[in-house]
């Protein structure tokens, strides 16, 4: 695969607004098995040879990376099972990273097989690797919220005349915000003042110093900020605002993260991909159904502090959406971003082969 240039990496770094802090790799071991060979007739021998060379007849190494934050939370049960030696179907190696400039080059250079990344980054990687990346599932819906310390905002229209502090300029937060404002008759350039910050922490600080200020923040950062300042309230859920402006003929969903796979790995190891998806789906279900236990795992893997994770998980919209539903939702979302700025999806919309297992 071709290397991603410095200019592309600069743009990708902006897409990492939902990531957390530093990471440590997690690895596991697995038991290897050897298929038996037939020693009777020539016909049986040929059949045996075919069985030996069948893809994934033996466990393989599966290198999985995820960015800290909501996109990694759904993996914690699977990571824990691997670390406790309870998974032998394949040899899984997990690594948690903090930013796009760490994860994108690994994917582009073939150093990672499967990765949880921001949704628009998947499209950027697809275009910049000439189609060598496919999306397996959507794993996180929108996690953006409008917050304030007062009680002035109850609708998108209420943002008129206000100052909004936000981070993520030139990335998904800006494009999603502009789309929602536009569809609600609010001009992002003239009807309100958007003050772009480099970090979420700066938005929270500005919110604390400006009693009339409003901030655009993602989960789980909202919950972490509320733990330090109980005056912060969620005024608008951008998921709800996004859904309210969709129509049946051209519907899309606000997304945060997806899980991607290297196309070559998927072609050479279809059973390994199937095995991962089955286990990952179960892990996502576990995270949503066992919040306290999943929060403890999030803390142990340094994804986010356990007390914050316990409150944030139900608000992080962690999902498992695959197949045709994945394609429809993701294609619609990328289409909205493309209209806002083609560079946000890598210059053009992905072809059908981008959507793994979708008809």
pLDDT value, residue 47 = 40
Of 357, 288, 284, nearest in space to 326 by CA: 357
- At 297-340, the pLDDT tens digits run 999 999 999 999 999 999 999 999 999 999 999 999 999 999 98
Q: 132-146, 212-226, 343-357 — which is least confidently predicted?
A: 212-226
Pairing of strands 61-67, 114-118: parallel
- At 106-122, the pLDDT tens digits run 988 889 999 999 899 99
The mean pLDDT of the chain is 85
b/e string for 117-150 if b means 16 or more Cβ within 10 A?
bbbbbbbbbbbbbeebbbbbbbbbbbbbbbbbbe
- Strand (E) positions, 98-240? 114-118, 133-141, 144-148, 163-167, 193-197, 214-218, 233-237
What is the mean predicted confidence (pLDDT) over 209-224?
A: 89
Reply yes or no on whether the pLDDT at 188 is more than 90: yes
Distance (Å, whole) CA 67 – CA 82 = 18
What is the mean predicted confidence (pLDDT) over 90-104?
A: 89
Identify the H or E element spanning 319: strand 318-321
Angle at 48 between CA 45 and CA 49, to 5 degrees: 90
pTM: 0.80
pLDDT value, residue 246 = 87
Identify the H or E element spanning 260: strand 255-262
What is the mean predicted confidence (pLDDT) over 263-274?
A: 96
Reply yes or no on whether the pLDDT at 260 is more than 90: yes
Tokens read off for 267: 């072609």
């Amino acid at each position: 695969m071709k290397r991603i240039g410095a200019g592309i990496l600069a743009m990708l770094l902006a897409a990492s607004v939902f990531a957390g802090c530093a990471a440590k790799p997690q690895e596991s071991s697995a038991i290897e098995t050897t298929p038996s060979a037939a020693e009777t007739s020539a016909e049986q021998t040929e059949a045996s040879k075919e069985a030996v060379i069948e893809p994934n007849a033996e466990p393989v190494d599966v290198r999985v990376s995820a960015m800290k934050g909501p996109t990694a939370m759904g993996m914690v049960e699977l990571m824990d099972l691997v670390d406790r030696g309870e998974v032998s179907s394949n040899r899984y190696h997990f690594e948690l990273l903090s930013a796009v400039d760490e994860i994108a080059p690994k994917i582009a250079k073939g150093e990672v097989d499967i990765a949880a990344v921001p949704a628009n980054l998947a499209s950027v990687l697809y275009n910049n690797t000439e189609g060598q990346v496919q999306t397996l599932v959507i794993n996180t819906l929108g996690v953006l919220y409008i917050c304030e310390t007062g009680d002035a905002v109850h609708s998108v229209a209420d943002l008129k005349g206000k100052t909004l502090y936000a981070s993520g300029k030139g990335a998904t937060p800006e494009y999603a915000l502009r789309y929602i404002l536009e569809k609600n008759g609010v001009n992002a350039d003239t009807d309100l003042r958007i003050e772009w910050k480099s970090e979420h922490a700066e938005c929270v600080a500005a919110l604390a110093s400006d009693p009339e200020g409003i901030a655009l923040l993602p989960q789980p950062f909202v919950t972490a900020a509320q733990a330090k300042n109980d005056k912060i309230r969620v005024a608008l859920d951008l998921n709800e605002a996004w859904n309210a402006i969709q129509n049946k003929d051209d519907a899309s969903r606000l997304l945060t993260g997806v899980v991607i796979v290297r196309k070559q790995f998927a072609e050479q190891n279809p059973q390994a991909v199937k095995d991962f998806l089955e286990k990952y789906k179960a892990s996502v279900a576990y995270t949503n159904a066992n919040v306290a236990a999943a929060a403890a795992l999030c803390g142990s893997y340094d994804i986010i502090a356990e007390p914050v994770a316990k409150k944030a998980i139900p608000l992080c919209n962690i999902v498992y959406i695959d197949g045709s539903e994945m394609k429809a939702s993701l294609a619609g979302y990328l289409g909205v971003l493309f209209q806002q700025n083609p560079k946000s999806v890598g210059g053009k919309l992905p072809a059908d082969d981008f959507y793994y297992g979708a008809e």
